[in-house]
Chains A and B, each alone.
Chain A
Amino acid sequence: MSRLKPEDLKQVKENTLKEMALREGGTTIKITVHMGTCGIAAGAKEVMEALMEEMAASGRKDIRVVGSGCMGMCSSEPNVTVERLGKEGVLYKHMDKNKMRQVFKRHVLLGEVQTDFALARMK
């Protein structure tokens, strides 16, 4: 990023929010893998690898995968959040490779919330 002036902060904020937002024609689905030390220790890296494999196989360009920090409930790690355009987000708990594959194929691609692995719905 080039050097910022105070008035640039607002512009960066607006641009980034636009980029982060789910919208028709752009990113319609966002998958967050929570990768704090607690998540990684519980297997978040393997979850991320399985997710990237599925992403590559799907060839979808409208899905964004991001890494983030811990959501707080370390005992439910690895956590993954799936947000689809116009739908409530879902926070998944105790994920592993196969649960991630299932969530990707059934929830991300087909819209069926995999309630067995879900911890919470979020606005």
Chain B
Amino acid sequence: MSTYRAEISVCSGKACRESGSHNLKEALEKELLRKGLNNEIRVTETQCNGFCAQGPLLKVEPEGTLYQKLKEEDIPKLVEEHLVKGEPVKRLFLKPASPPESVPAMEDIPFYSKQMLIVLKNRGVIDPESLEEYIARDGYVGASKALLNMTSEQIIQEVKTSGLRGRGGAGFSTGLKWEFASKSPGDVKYALCNADEGDPGAFMDRSVLEADPHAVLEGMVIAAKAIGAHQGYIYCRAEYPLAVKRLNLAIQQAKEAGLLGRDILGSGFDFDVEVYQGAGAFVCGEETALMQSIEGKRGMPRPRPPFPAQQGLWKKPTVLNNVETYANVPQIIQNGGTWYAGIGTATSKGTKVFALTGAVNNIGLVEVPMGITLREIIFDIGGGIPKKRKFKAVQLGGPSGGCVPERYLDTPVDYESIAKVGAIMGSGGMIVMNDQTCMVDMARFFMDFIQDESCGKCTPCREGTRRMLEILEKITQGRGEPEDIDVLEELSDMIRNSALCGLGQTGPNPVLSTLQYFRDEYEAHIYEKRCPARRCAALVKFEVNADLCTKCGICSRSCPSGAIEWKKREPAVIVKEKCVKCLSCITNCPADAIL
């Protein structure tokens, strides 16, 4: 048996094998043979070292040196330096982890510390598929209080005291809505939940339903008791399979535990809930269309009045609330309306959940107290704009909403203040846009969405939004005419005042709000045939400004069609014949050098 002066062990754990430890071992053996070291140094396999994300790993004994993330091409250097010259290659060492204290505490991270969790208090904390864990976080305490110790008037009074307003966007007082339905005559009434979240970029309801489905069910039980309903439906879009699955499981668990169904908690009150899956029509988020859809009819709105509180689902008194509204209710009943009213501003109480997305560092779901400024949400919680780009505007409220420019970023988040600057609170979609967003193109996108989703029942919405889209397309393609802006404004005015439902009435908002704050961009498109943000491909020259070009080559690497010629220390050149106008060079150019 021969002795060896050194032993190299290659990690043979599953992770290291997957990242190529076997090839590494072969390369090592070959290199040792080539250098004639195969009799001095032994290669073995070892069990997992536990640094699975740093693999493949090598350990050199007797020193015990650990090398990480090795590639085959590192082997000759490693053998030459460490095993021939005796100088370990520090560059390839396994890096020791920094001390645990170097990890920031959650309360020191603005993303978490500036939030206030009521609706989302159980997010990520409980197993959403466990009723026991929901109860362990005081679940169904509110329902128990409402069912056993409160009259329907007391429940409504408590919700009125709380100042809770509809979180679906319109901001109508929830307590008042319940009072109307409660006072409506009739022994059959319905409590409905609107989970047909369809705004582009919005995912508040999905996240609440996935993380805490029982909170919504409990809110519905309380609403049912308040208005005297014994049947409820949750209208959830079928595109949310996980939310539907968890809801159905929660309903089944609640029924088994006597928290839904007959004689809830022994109170003598009956209430049953079913999930109704929507087929993805945006207009079905409108209350009357939603009810038509549940009735099995084509999802189209009908004129109001009669309002749902008098004649809703199957012409019976009905309350319809959004997911987030319901999720607030159990805690309002448990802690009292006064507690809830202590949070927020004079007219907007409590918290609001926003889906923060777009050109912002921390994309995610945030819940903030009313009254916080947009700037705090975007720059403290959201961590600002990535890639050192400039903030341009934030879009609130989806296709019914508007955008808020930089100068109004200190607007506090409440229903009235947001409306004052030309946007709406909406259901909570918050899309942050940087200076690379063309506002005309953004308005075109939303108008495209609206005309696509228009149900066609009323002429202003069906025809008007289509005409507006055509004009916007014309402008972004460089065929805009001076009168276009006037026609857009005229059409907007007409559609707002004559469309049947909220979808049409608010549809022109993205155009109006961009015209209000970014009229110069419309004018640049129309008069100068120029897109200031360089997003409208028809108006971009696709030429490199050699003076601005930093010769970095990023554009050339990002071009999918190989249309950009670039050599070190020379400005890039775009070959127009090959260019497919995908805009990726413009998106990626750090110097804004492409015209």
Interface string of A1-21 (1 = CB under 8 A from B): 111111001001101110110
A90 interface contact, C-beta 8 A: yes
Interface residues on B, range: 35 or more
Interface string of A110-122 (1 = CB under 8 A from B): 1011111111111
Residue among A72, A98, A117 making CB contact with B124, cutoff 8 Å = A72
Residue among B122, B148, B362 making CB contact with A73, cutoff 8 Å = B362
B275 interface contact, C-beta 8 A: no
Q: Which residues of B contact A32 (CB under 8 A)?
A: 124
Question: Are A101 and B103 neighbours in the complex by a CB distance under 8 Å?
Answer: no
Q: Which residues of A contact B361 (CB under 8 A)?
A: 75
Question: Are A1 and B257 neighbours in the complex by a CB distance under 8 Å?
Answer: yes
Residue among A6, A38, A115, A117 making CB contact with B53, cutoff 8 Å = A117
Residue among A2, A16, A100, A118 making CB contact with B132, cutoff 8 Å = A16
Question: Are A105 and B128 neighbours in the complex by a CB distance under 8 Å?
Answer: no
Interface string of A33-53 (1 = CB under 8 A from B): 010111010000000000001
Residue among B13, B15, B257 making CB contact with A2, cutoff 8 Å = B257
B500 interface contact, C-beta 8 A: no
Q: Which residues of A contact B14 (CB under 8 A)?
A: 53, 101
Closest Cβ of chain B: how far from A58's Cβ, in Å? 12
Closest Cβ of chain A: how far from B223's Cβ, in Å? 19
Q: Which of the 9-residue segments B28-36, B206-214, B433-441, B491-499 touches chain A?
A: B206-214
Closest Cβ of chain B: how far from A9's Cβ, in Å? 6
Number of chain A residues close to chain B: CB under 8 A: 60
Given A2-B257, A115-B99, A118-B103, the answer on whether A72 and B120 have CB atoms closer than 8 Å is yes
Question: Are B127 and A98 neighbours in the complex by a CB distance under 8 Å?
Answer: no
A83 to B148, CA, bound (A): 38
A26 interface contact, C-beta 8 A: no
B180 interface contact, C-beta 8 A: no
A61 interface contact, C-beta 8 A: no
Of all chain B residues, which has the CB nearest A17? B136
Interface centre among B51, B52, B203, B365 (most CB of A within 10 A): B52
A106 interface contact, C-beta 8 A: yes
Closest Cβ of chain B: how far from A94's Cβ, in Å? 10
A105 to B13, CA, bound (A): 12
A38 to B356, CA, bound (A): 13
Question: Are A16 and B52 neighbours in the complex by a CB distance under 8 Å?
Answer: no
Question: Are A13 and B135 neighbours in the complex by a CB distance under 8 Å?
Answer: yes
Question: Are A102 and B265 neighbours in the complex by a CB distance under 8 Å?
Answer: no
Q: Which residues of B contact A120 (CB under 8 A)?
A: 103-106, 109, 112
- Residues facing A in B185-214 (CB within 8 A) are 203, 206-207, 210-212
Q: Which residues of B contact A106 (CB under 8 A)?
A: 50-51
Q: Which of the 9-residue segments B137-145, B371-379, B508-516 touches chain A?
A: B137-145
Q: Which residues of B contact A72 (CB under 8 A)?
A: 111-112, 115, 120, 123-124, 364-366
- Residues facing B in A66-99 (CB within 8 A) are 66-76, 79, 81, 88, 90-91, 96-99
Q: Which residues of A contact B99 (CB under 8 A)?
A: 115
B266 interface contact, C-beta 8 A: yes
Of all chain B residues, which has the CB nearest A91? B106
Residue among B111, B133, B211, B266 making CB contact with A36, cutoff 8 Å = B211
A67 to B130, CA, bound (A): 10
Q: Which residues of A contact B366 (CB under 8 A)?
A: 72
Of all chain A residues, which has the CB nearest B357? A74
Q: Which residues of A contact B13 (CB under 8 A)?
A: 101
B286 interface contact, C-beta 8 A: no
Closest Cβ of chain B: how far from A93's Cβ, in Å? 11
Question: Are B259 and A4 neighbours in the complex by a CB distance under 8 Å?
Answer: yes
Of all chain B residues, which has the CB nearest A18? B136
Closest Cβ of chain B: how far from A20's Cβ, in Å? 6
Of all chain B residues, which has the CB nearest A32? B124
Residue among B19, B52, B123, B144 making CB contact with A105, cutoff 8 Å = B52
Question: Are B105 and A122 neighbours in the complex by a CB distance under 8 Å?
Answer: yes
Residue among A1, A20, A90 making CB contact with B131, cutoff 8 Å = A1
Given A16-B135, A101-B15, the answer on whether A4 and B257 have CB atoms closer than 8 Å is yes
Closest Cβ of chain B: how far from A40's Cβ, in Å? 7
A72 to B381, CA, bound (A): 11
A105 to B129, CA, bound (A): 28
Of all chain B residues, which has the CB nearest A1? B257
Residue among B50, B51, B210, B257 making CB contact with A69, cutoff 8 Å = B210
Given A16-B132, A70-B123, the answer on whether A9 and B141 have CB atoms closer than 8 Å is yes
Given A6-B148, A9-B144, A17-B136, the answer on whether A96 and B50 have CB atoms closer than 8 Å is no
Question: Are B124 and A37 neighbours in the complex by a CB distance under 8 Å?
Answer: no
Interface centre among A69, A99, A109, A121 (most CB of B within 10 A): A69
Interface centre among B133, B135, B148, B363 (most CB of A within 10 A): B135
B55 interface contact, C-beta 8 A: yes
Q: Which residues of A contact B51 (CB under 8 A)?
A: 102, 106
A35 to B120, CA, bound (A): 15
Closest Cβ of chain B: how far from A27's Cβ, in Å? 14
A5 to B206, CA, bound (A): 31
Given A5-B265, A20-B133, A70-B365, the answer on whether A122 and B106 have CB atoms closer than 8 Å is yes
Question: Are B365 and A98 neighbours in the complex by a CB distance under 8 Å?
Answer: no
Interface centre among B100, B107, B212, B259 (most CB of A within 10 A): B100
Q: Which residues of A contact B105 (CB under 8 A)?
A: 88, 120-123
Residue among A1, A67, A91, A119 making CB contact with B256, cutoff 8 Å = A1
Given A69-B123, A71-B124, A72-B115, the answer on whether A37 and B135 have CB atoms closer than 8 Å is no
Identify 19 residue pairs between A and B in the complex whose beta-carbon atoms are under 8 Å apart, listed by A's number.
Answer: A1-B132, A4-B258, A6-B148, A9-B140, A12-B132, A16-B132, A16-B135, A36-B207, A36-B242, A37-B243, A66-B127, A68-B211, A69-B126, A69-B211, A70-B210, A70-B365, A79-B124, A81-B124, A101-B48
Q: Contact residues of B with A, CB < 8 Å? A: 13-15, 18-19, 48, 50-55, 95, 97-100, 102-107, 109, 111-112, 115, 120, 122-129, 131-133, 135-136, 138, 140-141, 144, 148, 203, 206-207, 210-212, 240, 242-243, 253, 256-259, 265-267, 361-366
Given contacts A15-B132, A112-B97, list 10 more A-B pairs with CB under 8 A.
Answer: A5-B266, A16-B135, A69-B212, A70-B211, A72-B120, A74-B365, A98-B52, A113-B103, A115-B97, A119-B109
The 5 closest A-B pairs by CB, nearest first: A69-B211, A105-B50, A3-B258, A101-B52, A16-B136
